[in-house]
Structures are given as C-alpha cells and as structure tokens.
Amino acid sequence: MRDLKDWQPCAEPTNAPMEGRYVRIVPFDPAGNGEALWNALGGVEANKRLRWFGWPVMHGADDLIARLRNYNDNDGWRTCVFETLYDGAVTGMASYMRTDAANGVTEVGAVGHGAAMKRSRASTEVHYLMARRVFDELGYRRYEWKLNNLNAPSHAAALRLGFIFEGIFRQHQVTGRGENRDTAWYSMLDSEWPVVKLAFEAWLDPGNFDAKGEQRERLQDIRSRLAGSGRSA
C-alpha cells in the first residue's frame, strides 16, 4: 500500500487546451463556442442526447450556455469543449467536476458527444487526454465517472474506457425533471492508470486501424492483454 505520509494536495484540473492526433480540447467559452456546442449536440435534440443528465428541458442555446456558465462559475466545474482537429468543428463536451484536490479525487461528468463523434477515434481520444491531465500532469489518486443507473450506454462507455464499477447509490437524487436517480459509481485509480494509458495509446495508434478505418483490436482487449503481460508505463 502506498505510503501517504508526505501526501500534498493536488492542483485543481483546468480546461486549458489539450491536443491529440484527432481532437483538440478547449475551454468552454459562452460567447465563443456556446452556440456551436448547442448545435453540435443537435439543437433541441440535445434534450434527448442529454436525457440522463436530468436537466430541465432546454429550448435554445441560451439555456445550455446559462446552465454551463452557472456550473462553472458557482460549482467548480471546468467544462471542456471538443473540436475536430482537422477543421476545428465543435463536436461535444465533458467537465471536470466535484474536485476534491486535498484528497486527489476528481470526476469527469456531463459527457455529451455530438453525432459526429459516434464511434470515432476522437470520442476515445478526448477521454485519454482528460485522464492524462488528471494523473500525469496533476498526480491525482482517483478519477470518477458517475451516471444515472438507467443509462446503459454510459455504463458501457465507462467499462470500455477502463473505469471499474463500484456500486449504486439508490434513490440518490431527485432530478431536474422530477424523477428518481439511482447513481452508479465507477472509478479509475492512479495504480491502474499506467496500463489504461498504454492501452489508450495502442488503440489510438493509426496502425490499429485498417484501410477502411476499422479497428484491428478493441480497446478492452488491448488493456486485458497488457494487464496479463504485466506491462506498465
């Protein structure tokens, strides 16, 4: 077990720019990319795409912008906006939230991928970049992913990305839509990150895709193979 007698609080994660092979991450800017984000999430269809957030129905870009601005100004969120690297088009978002810097814990949440990100390399790379900031740049011990337990795609995404299921908080919240929310908890630890990181990098490598752009090896399979071989960074 790690000796923590010399532990020091971490710096809080920021949404300062990050860049990979396929995607660029930039800060949420209400005037600069708020409307583009609304459009990327499908306009009014964002209410369906973000259904499990439990937010009240949004009627336009101003509603999304006001909600994200409030969370960033008052609740400590740091919303990251995703742009396709080759053309700068806004494609989605996620936020660092509920950060406990004293204990080295933060969460990635409010994950919203637009249609352009579906099954794309960018949709995986954004989470690699955000996790790399948390663990490699800032030295966090724990990275969380929480979701409405009814949200099956989010369960699948958490597991695919390398988060470990921990359990369910029953009747955890009453949502903004007046519904019960049972919250499922997932986490990734600093001790698990080296293998998760190597798997991300191997999956994102262009050599992992054939001439049609299809993956040669699944992310989960790469991670299992590396874990079985005892590989670490």
Mean pLDDT in order along the chain per 10 residues (233 residues): 89 98 97 97 96 94 98 98 95 98 98 92 97 98 98 97 98 93 97 98 97 96 90 62
In this structure, CATH architecture of domain 18-144: 3-Layer(aba) Sandwich (3.40)
What integer pLDDT is reported at residue 2 of this predicted model?
77
Strand order in the sheet with 90-100: 18-19, 23-27, 78-84, 90-100, 105-113, 142-148, 180-189, 164-174
Residues 6 or more apart whose CB falls under 8 angstroms from that of 177 comprise: 54, 55, 56, 57
Instruction: Please give, one letter per residue, the 3-state secondary structure of the chain.
Output: CCCCCCCCCCCCCCCCCEECCCEEEEECCCCCCHHHHHHHCCHHHHHHHCHHHCCCCCCCHHHHHHHHHHHHHHCCCEEEEEEECCCCCEEEEEEEEEEEHHHCEEEEEEEEECHHHCCCHHHHHHHHHHHHHHHHHCCCCEEEEEEECCCHHHHHHHHHHCCEEEEEEEEEEECCCCCEEEEEEEEEECCCHHHHHHHHHHHHCHHHECCCCCECCCHHHHHHHHHHHCCCC
Q: Which residues pair with 188 in a beta bridge?
A: 143
What integer pLDDT is reported at residue 233 of this predicted model?
54
Q: Nearest Cα to 64, choosing from 118, 28, 117?
A: 28
What integer pLDDT is reported at residue 9 of this predicted model?
96
Query: CA 19 to CA 116: how far, in whole Å?
Result: 18
Q: Nearest Cα to 143, choosing from 93, 219, 69, 196?
A: 196
Decide: 204 and 124 in contact? Cβ < 8 Å: yes
